[in-house]
């Protein structure tokens, strides 16, 4: 088996999957936090 198939591709795929997961996680956190902050704003305005 070539070095590409055995080591290089798994290395690059693993690294970019982890970095991608960090981006997705940050995006989800951003969405949730914005939603909560917006709800607070709307609740305050309703009062």
Partner 1 sequence: MQLEQVWRNGMNRFLHRLGSLQVAYQMAGLCLPWFSTLCVLMMVYGVVGGLFLAPPDVEQGDAFRMIYIHVPSAFLSLMIYGVIFVNSVVYLVWHIKLADITAKCSASVGATYTIIALFSGALWGKPMWGTWWIWDARLTSELILLFLYMGYMGLRNAIREPKRAAKASAILAVIGMVDIPIIHFSVEWWATLHQGATLAKFSKPSIASEMLYPLLAMLGAFILFYVALLCVRVRVEILKRERKTQWVQAGFAAQGSGAA
**Which parts of 2-21 interact with partner 1 (CB under 8 A)?**
2-4, 6-8, 10-12, 14-15, 18-19
**Assigned token pair, 14:** 């693993």
Site size with partner 1, rule: CB under 8 A? 27
Nearer to partner 1, 23 or 46 (CB): 23
Q: CA 2 to CA 7: how far, in whole Å? A: 8
26 is a contact residue toward partner 1 (CB under 8 A): yes
Ordered DSSP codes for 3-31: HIIIIIHHHHHHHHHHHHHHHHHHHHHHH
CB of residue 10 vs partner 1: minimum separation in angstroms? 6
């Amino acid at each position: 088996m070539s070095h590409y198939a055995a080591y290089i591709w798994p290395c690059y795929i693993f690294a970019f999957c982890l970095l991608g997961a960090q981006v997705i996680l940050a995006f989800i956190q951003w969405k949730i936090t914005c939603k909560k902050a917006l709800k607070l704003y709307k609740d305050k305005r309703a009062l």
